[in-house]
Amino acid sequence: MMEKIVSLCKRRGFIFQSSEIYGGTGGVYDFGPLGVELKNNVKQYWWKKFVTDREDMVGLDAGIIMNAKVWEASGHTSSFADPLVECKKCHKRFRSDQLKDKKCPDCGGELTEEKKFNILVKTFLGPVEDTSTLTYLRGETAQGIFVNFKNVLESARQKIPFGIAQIGKAFRNEITPGNFLYRTREFEQGEIEYFIKPDKEESEKQYRYWINETKNFYTGIGIKESNLKLREHDKDELSHYSNGTTDIEYDFPFGTSELAGIAQRTDFDLTAHQKSSGKSLEYFEEESGKKYIPFVVEPSMGIDRAILAVLCDAYDESDGSDGREKGEITLHLSPRIAPIKAAILPLVKKDGLAEKAQEIYKQVKSCFSAFYDESGSIGRRYRRQDEIGTPFCITADYDTLKDDSVTIRERDSMKQERIKISEINNYLFEKIV
Ligand code: GAP
């Protein structure tokens, strides 16, 4: 199943291996013409749901490179590490917590003792490469939010409880990247730091609320609820900053695995940055006249993992019993995130039908991402759109020239309706937004 999805993604221009013509880069992927639309739609929905539709949330877009002291204060230079073992025979390295037995999975060789391997990606800024110019590509977007807490508080005049949201790239030198987009070295995160009163009960309440809201996000992008699971972390697997974490997991073809984590970060980060920077990161509560460092509840998700889940959830190969031919692929993507919302197809190219379809295409394209296709039989053109998840196909035929009406075919049911050209945009608005 994963191989089929990877192959479809490459063939239809969703996702490519990075630097493929040079043999690739392990754990990095490029989003092609359809992939970037799909990803942008997922991010736009995230931003709308969590930022613009709410009154208690503001956005941020911080730099990927920060002062190295940020990562020392946050604990990442000391604690952001995976357990690493090396094969004594072939010298390949693996994460020991992901191995089923104590032998090298590649050659069966004996493995070394476990060592901690820090996964922050290092870089140097400036003309010399020494410890004074050493810094890191951010390992999580969250720290950009914490170090801007005071700036946002003073400029956006928010009152607790409120959140700061950010979508952006994060980098981790994963020892064993794998399962396509699931574990990569460069990926995007959508993170919210939600600042609340420093109170255990409030933290617990917000924690439950954000677990639910995060789950609603996934059903909002079309993932079946029955494929989502909640898993609370045991005390011994909690990150260095967390007092309680719940993962939202998805039933991937390679096993049930994490999509997102919701953590009670308490005042860990703001306290650490206040101490390390010497700058006050306290909040002044007008009503009580008290100052305090707020607690934080953090819903954090990987955008790339959401894309992978959406693709796995939507992928369907016909067994021939649903009116499609055996083996035909349909991506049942939610219209909300489908890269192309409508394809405009003239029944034939001649007799003025192509020109009429072009007019319709321009009308639809002014509001939605649309695609014009006049090559091949109509059945083949439908199939090409089904395979990339286009929810609606609009066909102009001979009647269109007489009465300005078209046929709209819905991808999943394959049902066809006749509507007026002037009604197409409203029809799509109703079905998509
Ligand atoms: N700020 C909290 C944080 O970064 P995390 O559990 O390490 O927590 C959050 O990461 C989310 O980022 C994960 O749930 C996952 O969706 C995504 N993520 C983490 N590592 C990833 C990787 N190597 N490749 C793709 N996505 C990753």
Lowest model confidence (mean pLDDT) among 97-111, 275-289, 321-335: 97-111
Q: Which atom of ligand 1 is nearest to the CA of 140?
A: 4
- Confidence check: pLDDT of 433 > 80: no
C-alpha of residue 148 to centroid of ligand 1, in Å? 21
pLDDT at 132: 83
DSSP state of 249: E
C-alpha of residue 300 to centroid of ligand 1, in Å? 7
pLDDT in tens, 184-212: 999 999 999 999 999 999 999 999 999 99
Q: Which atom of ligand 1 is nearest to the CA of 139?
A: 4
- Tell me what the mean pLDDT of segment 312-316 comes to: 98
pLDDT at 351: 95
Side chain identity at residue 113, one-letter code:
E
C-alpha of residue 302 to centroid of ligand 1, in Å? 5
Side chain identity at residue 278, one-letter code:
G
- Confidence check: pLDDT of 243 > 90: no
Residues enclosing ligand 1, CB less than 6 A?
140, 142, 172, 174, 183-184, 187, 189, 191, 258-261, 298, 300-302, 304-305
How many CA atoms are closer than 13 Å to the CA of 406, on its beta-carbon side?
Answer: 28
Q: Does residue 196 contact residue 296 with C-beta atoms inside 8 Å?
A: yes
pLDDT at 79: 87
Q: Does residue 137 contact residue 76 with C-beta atoms inside 8 Å?
A: no
| CA neighbor of 248 nearest in space, from 232, 234, 264 | 232
Side chain identity at residue 365, one-letter code:
K
Rounded CA separation 376/369 (Å): 22
Q: Which atom of ligand 1 is nearest to the CA of 263?
A: 2
| CA neighbor of 299 nearest in space, from 170, 161, 189, 137 | 189
C-alpha of residue 423 to centroid of ligand 1, in Å? 43
Q: What is the DSSP string of 281-343?
A: --EEETTTTEEEPPEEEEEEEEHHHHHHHHHHHHEEE--S-SSS-TT-EEE---TTT-S-SEE
Q: pLDDT class for 216, splitting at 50, 70, 90?
A: very high
- Confidence check: pLDDT of 259 > 80: yes
